[in-house]
């Protein structure tokens, strides 16, 4: 019997058990410090050197780079190892799905990755550790070593468009899957949130796993409010049988 293609849309709630705060939840970063949003807004970042310096300082203390995968990440990787066709579409930039064992080619990072930097001028890329080492050596706003341009994390900032190729692949997966699990996502940020609707429109079984209500709960075949670290492994074990 052919196993169903399972698409997993993962949001910030998947990584909170790894010590990475979410953004829009009750204790989310943007609710606690609205000014912090400027540090990841492209227009402010590119035009204000002080914003860039603050953004780099924030990145030095970024828990995402030292975080470890949790039970939810491991459960997704285990589903893939069990022979179920799995594709992960993640709104997260922490790389924890890959660290948990998901093949990188099966993970679409809608919002980029915090594990790399990119030059806004010549588009040169490199590991974030290299840029942070320059900070440790005294550079507060390290320029590109290739062209002298402004460096930024290889994440999609507010005011930037998603990579159209990555988004196109995500839409194709949403259209083709038989099961679509939206987990740890508020399903409020478009176009990522709309993928749940695309999947439902194409006949997929839609499952929403999130602590708070989402705009897509009414369309879901199943809504799970239990903690993600226990709910997702249980749910995925049921799918793999």
Q: Are 171 and 163 in contact (CB under 8 A)?
A: no
Topology, domain 1-20+68-111+161-241: Rossmann fold (3.40.50)
Give the closest residue to 102 by CA, choosing from 171, 16, 167, 14.
14
Distance CA 161, CA 194 (A): 15
Query: Can you tell me the distance from the alpha carbon of 158 to that of 186, in angstroms, rounded to the nearest whole number?
Result: 17
CATH topology assigned to domain 26-66+114-155: SIR2/SIRT2 'Small Domain' (3.30.1600)
144: its two tokens: 């590109």
Structure letter (DSSP) for residue 193: T
H/E run at residue 206: strand 205-209
CATH 3.40.50.1220 in the chain is located at: 1-20+68-111+161-241
DSSP letters spanning 119-173? ETTT--EEEHHHHHHHHHTT-SSPBPTTT--BEEEEE--BTSPPPHHHHHHHHHH
CA-to-CA distance for 123 and 59, rounded, in angstroms?
A: 20
Per the annotation, the verdict on 111 as an active-site residue is yes
Contact 10, 107 (CB under 8 A): no
* 7, 110 Cβ separation under 8 angstroms: no
d(CA 170, CA 64): 23
The catalytically annotated residue of 73, 97, 111, 202 is 111
Intervals of CATH 3.30.1600.10 along the chain: 26-66+114-155
pLDDT tens for the chain, residues 1 to 241: 678 999 999 999 999 999 887 665 555 555 556 677 888 899 999 999 999 999 998 888 776 688 899 999 999 999 999 999 999 999 999 999 999 999 999 999 999 999 999 999 999 999 999 999 999 999 999 999 999 999 999 999 999 999 999 999 999 999 999 999 999 999 998 899 999 999 999 999 999 999 999 999 999 999 999 999 999 999 999 987 7
């Amino acid at each position: 019997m052919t196993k169903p293609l399972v698409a997993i849309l993962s949001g910030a709630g998947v990584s909170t058990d790894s010590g990475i705060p979410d953004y829009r939840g009750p204790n989310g970063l943007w609710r606690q410090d609205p000014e912090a949003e400027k540090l990841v807004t492209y227009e402010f970042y590119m035009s204000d050197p002080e914003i860039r310096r603050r953004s780099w300082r924030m990145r030095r203390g970024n828990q995402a780079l030292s975080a470890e995968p949790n039970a939810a990440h491991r459960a997704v990787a285990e589903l893939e190892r069990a022979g179920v066709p799995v594709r992960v579409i993640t709104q997260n930039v922490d790389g924890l799905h890959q660290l948990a064992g998901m093949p990188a080619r099966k993970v679409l990072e809608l919002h980029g990755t915090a594990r790399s930097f990119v030059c806004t001028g010549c588009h040169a890329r490199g590991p974030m550790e290299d840029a942070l080492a320059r900070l440790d050596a005294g550079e507060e706003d390290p320029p590109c070593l290739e062209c002298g341009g402004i460096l930024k994390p290889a994440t999609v900032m507010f005011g930037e468009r998603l990579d159209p190729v990555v988004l196109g692949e995500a839409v194709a997966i949403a259209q083709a899957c038989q099961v679509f699990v939206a987990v740890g996502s508020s399903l409020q940020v478009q176009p990522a949130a709309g993928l749940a609707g695309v999947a439902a429109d194409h006949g997929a079984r839609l499952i929403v796993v999130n602590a708070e209500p989402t705009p897509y709960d009414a369309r879901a075949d199943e809504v799970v409010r239990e903690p993600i670290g226990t709910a997702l492994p249980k749910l995925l074990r049921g799918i793999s049988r």
